[in-house]
A = this chain, B = another copy of it.
Amino acid sequence: MYTEPTTFSAEQYFATQLPPPALQHDVESVREFVARQQKEGRAVVLVTSGGTTVPLELNVVRFLDNFSAGTRGATSAEYFLKAGYAVIFMHRQFSLQPFSRHYSHSTNPFLDFLDIDSPESQGATPRISVTPNKREDLLQVLTVYKEVHARGTLHTLTFVTVNDYLWLLRAVSQEMSVLKRRAMFYLAAAVSDFFLPRQKMASYLVSSFASEHKIQSGKGSLHIEMDQVPKILKPLVDEWTPGGFIVSFKLETDQNLLLPKARQAIERYGHQVVIGNELHRRKFEVVFVSKKPLPALPPGIEQTDEAILQAVDPTNSFSEYWLRIDVPEHPAPGFLVKEIEEDIVDELVKRHAEWIANTP
């Protein structure tokens, strides 16, 4: 059974695909969170983080995934909190999270730095304490973690599939639209370009079982045919949350494609910043791409589109701002490279403040 691949608009997508079961519950929690932050005068940033999956079966055993541990998002969320933002952290289930990211079960398991002290008196329960040389780091993380919880400035949502992600993003951005220019969107999740519409899932399953049958006879191959995920930046910018400050990411494996792809995205969706990063350099080099502000026109000339177009040099209408972290070629033992997310967030907070100040 072959069906022609379809291109879905965002509207068609939401009209034909089913919302995740927890959506209503999540939306209400976000509404309450946003209202409280607005009352307390905080700007709110939505940080999306981690990869989305594309289930290939109704009984999800096999799925297509996008590589992302969620480091960028989890790290950035901490710096946004530090800068005074309230953060809605919308992440892939089991991807890294702010604070706990420092204690990965694989690379820095917390059980390794807990000690069991002998009880002070016979029969008493032994005390658990933190290994002395780990105390300071843990105390630092734990202190900020507890402050954030006490202030109630971090709200966490989870997604697994690309369908979960799209529904959540639309709903959350709509809830955030009341914040107007005080809302920032930091879209660091690695979102699949393709998906399997539920209308094709059934027919896919038929051909999958057919190929399953082939496997038994020792001649197996798996064919997957998917449709393109709708481009949702356009409706996000134009409809869901007009006024928001929107930052998207462009991950490329070819350094030469970074700038052209980033400019293309800005041109196409009309949002504020694209942060370009190359897969292997992303921890120490990124580039901010934006539209240059419109030039001041000579006095007496009316601010029409045509006049502006004439004043803008079309070959030079994008601003590029490179952020780089110095990594010593031969780092001393124990040398800690600075987290580039600290500088990314600094720059964005500055730009967002200008954006708010320039409210028309």
Contact = CB atoms under 8 A, between A and B. Distances in A.
Interface of A: 5, 7, 53, 56-57, 59-67, 69, 93-94, 97, 99-100, 103-106, 109-111, 114, 116, 125-130, 135-136, 138-139, 141-143, 145-146, 158, 190, 192-194, 215, 218-228, 251, 253, 279
B111 A142 contact: yes
A99 B106 CA distance: 12
B227 A224 contact: no
Contacts of A222: 193-194, 224-226
Contacts of A219: 5, 7, 228
A116 B125 CA distance: 20
Contact of A224 (B59, B65, B106, B224): B224
Nearest to A280: B59
B53 A61 contact: no
Contact of A279 (B5, B59, B64): B59
Contacts of A110: 100, 103, 110
Contacts of A106: 93-94, 97, 158
A230 B167 CA distance: 39
Contact of A220 (B5, B53, B94, B253): B5
B221 A225 contact: yes
Nearest to A264: B216
A251 B106 CA distance: 27
30 contacts: A5-B220, A7-B220, A56-B64, A61-B66, A61-B190, A61-B251, A62-B192, A63-B64, A64-B65, A93-B106, A97-B109, A99-B111, A100-B109, A100-B111, A103-B111, A110-B110, A111-B141, A111-B142, A111-B145, A114-B138, A116-B142, A116-B143, A125-B139, A128-B130, A193-B215, A218-B228, A219-B228, A220-B228, A223-B225, A224-B224
A54 to B, nearest CB: 9
A220 B223 CA distance: 16
B116 A146 contact: yes
Contact of A67 (B63, B125, B126, B190): B63
A228 to B, nearest CB: 4
Given A59-B253, A100-B111, A128-B139, 11 more contacts: A60-B67, A62-B65, A94-B105, A100-B105, A103-B105, A111-B141, A111-B145, A116-B143, A128-B138, A219-B228, A223-B224
A279 B61 contact: yes
